Amino acid sequence: MEQVAGLNRETAGGFSMDVFRVESEDGGWVLYKAHGYKPVMRADCQADLIQHVQVITGGKGAVIRFWAQAGVRELRVGGVGVDDAWGL
């Protein structure tokens, strides 16, 4: 992962992508930059957070990390080609 102008970015398939994380808090969901502590957005539904990531990144692609029973998982949205889909 590289730091670009204060943003956390990850390279996937030659494209630089923003990295976010989603956490459960107080019965809702909160979106953060990967290593940030200030919320980007709060929502009742994870889908709203995913849609917001696509809007703020202009569909160029992003990685969203979240905790699951099996550990940390990644969801790659926007800007992911068919050849890159194997990582999902």
Q: Where are the domains of the chain?
A: 2-79
pLDDT digits (tens, 9 = 90+) for 6-43: 445 555 555 578 899 999 999 999 999 988 899 999 99
Phi, psi of 36 (to 5 degrees): -90, 165
The answer, yes or no, to whether residue 66 has pLDDT greater than 60, is: yes
What contacts 24+ positions apart, CB below 8 Å, involve 72-81? 75/50, 76/12, 76/17, 77/50, 77/53, 78/53, 78/54, 79/15, 79/17, 80/12, 80/13, 81/13
| Range 39-66 average pLDDT | 91
